[in-house]
Amino acid sequence: MDKRERLQATIRGEPVDRVAVALWRHFPVDDQDPADLAGATLEWQAQYDWDFIKVTPTSSFCLKDWGAQDDWRANPEGTRDYTHRVIHRPDDWAALPVLDPGQGHLTAQIGALGRISAALAGRTPFIQTIFSPLSQARNLVGPVQLPVHLRQYPEALKAGLETITTSTLRFIDACRPTSLDGIFYALQFATTRVFSEAEYRAFGEPYDRRILEAVNDLWLNVTHLHGEDVLFDLAAGYSTPVMNWHDAETSPSLSGGLQKTAGAVCGGLRQWDTMVLATPTAVRAEVRQAIEQTGGRRLIVGTGCVTPIVAPRANLRAAREAVEQA
C-alpha cells in the first residue's frame, strides 16, 4: 500500500499492510519564515518517512495580522511565548477586523503549504494545523482573562468568535489550491479543567462545527483534544476521520476511544515519558501495546500532542521502525 491507501483503509477499518504512524513537531525559528518552515518540515519527513505530514506553524501564525506578538524562549516543545495580547477590554472583541488571507502572515503560511505540496508531488498526504476559534481567542486575550470574558461579557466574546471563525474559514478556502488533504483541528480548551461542558457547548461547539462542516470534503481531517479531562464524547460527535488526544494521560484509553468513534484513533505513545525520557526498547513496547489495544485496526500510531524537539533520534527511529516489525 502507498500512504494514501494505507490511511484511507485505516479510517474505514479495513485491513492494512501495516499500522500507520505519524509524529509531528515544532520547528522553532524556522517557523518564522515560510521557506524555512517548509524546508524543515520536508527534512523531517525525508528522515523518518511518516505516513502523513502535519504542518506545524507557531500558534500565533493566525493572530499576528491582528497584532499578537511572541518570542522564542527555548521551550522544549518548540512553542513560543506570547509577549503582546490584542484584547485588553471587552469592547476590543468587536474591533477585530476579518483578516484577508491574501496578505501578511496568513499568505506566508499558504506559501509554506505550496512549497510542501510541490515537493511532495502527491506522494505523502499533508494537513494544515487550524486552531479552534476559542483557542485563538485565548491567545488573543490570555489564559486568565478568557474565562472572565466568557462569564462576564459573553456577547462581546461571541462577537470576537464570529470574526475569528469567518477569518479562519477564509484562510482554509485560500489553502485549498495547495491540495492539502485535511486539517489538524486543535481543540485546546475542550476540557473541564477550563470550562464546563455547558460553557464549551455555548462558546466552542457552534464555531467548531462551522469550520469542520466547511472541510467535510477533505478526507484526512484530524480532531486534536489537548490536555486532560477532555470532552471526548462531545468532540467525537464532530465525526472527523481521525481523533487524537493524550490517550496515555487521560481517559478514554486508546481502545475506549476506538469504541466511541467511527473513524481512526491516533495515539499510543507518551510524548514525554516515552519519546523523550525512555529508550527505543520502551518505544517499541508502547507501539505493540497500542496495536494490542486496538487489534491493529483503525489505528495510527502517534503521540498525544507534538513530539518535543528534545526527543532522541533513536526513539524517533524506533517509533517508525516498530510498525514494520509488528
Q: Which of 103, 101, 64 has its CA nearest to residue 84?
A: 64
Q: How far is CA 266 from CA 120, 172, 296, in A?
A: 23, 23, 12
- Name residue, grid cell 515537493: 119
DSSP string, 256-268: HHHHH-SSEEEEE
Query: What region, left, alpha or beta, does residue 298 occupy, with left being phi > 0 and alpha being psi -120 to 50 degrees?
Result: left
- Strands 81-84, 69-71: parallel, antiparallel or unpaired by DSSP? antiparallel
Alpha carbon distance, N-terminus to C-terminus of the chain: 16
Q: Which 3 state secondary structure label does DSSP give 117?
A: helix
User: Cis ω on the peptide bond leading into residue 252 (within 30° of 0)?
Assistant: yes
The strand pair at 182-187 and 126-131 is best described as parallel
Which residues are within 8 A (CB) of 95 and not within 5 positions of it... i.e. 6 or more apart?
A: none
Q: What is the mean pLDDT of each run of 10 residues along the chain (326 residues)?
A: 98 98 98 98 98 98 98 98 98 98 98 98 98 98 97 98 98 98 96 97 98 98 97 98 96 97 97 98 98 97 97 98 94
Supply 78's cell numbers. Answer: 518548540
92: exposed, middle or buried (Cβ count in 10 Å: 0-12, 13-18, 19+): middle
Write down the residue that cell numbers 494514501 correspond to: 4
pLDDT of residue 263: 98
Distance between CA 237 and CA 215 in Å, rounded? 15
Report d(CA 59, CA 139) in Å as an integer. 8
Alpha helices in the chain (DSSP H): 3-12, 34-48, 104-120, 133-141, 145-152, 154-175, 197-203, 205-214, 232-236, 254-260, 280-294, 313-325
Q: How far apart are CA 295 and CA 288, in angstroms?
A: 10
Q: What nine digits make up the cell of 21? A: 504512524
Q: Where are the domains of the chain?
A: 22-264
* Strand arrangement of the beta sheet that strand 53-55 belongs to: 20-21, 299-303, 264-269, 242-245, 222-225, 182-187, 126-131, 53-55
pTM of the model: 0.98
Rounded to whole angstroms, the Cα distance separating 87 from 139 reads: 9
List the one residue out of 135, 167, 176, 152 whose CA is nearest residue 66.
167
Q: Which pLDDT value is given to residue 326? A: 80
Q: Which CATH number fits domain 22-264: 1.10.645.10, 3.40.50.300, 3.20.20.210, 1.20.1070.10?
A: 3.20.20.210
Q: What is the pLDDT of residue 22?
A: 98
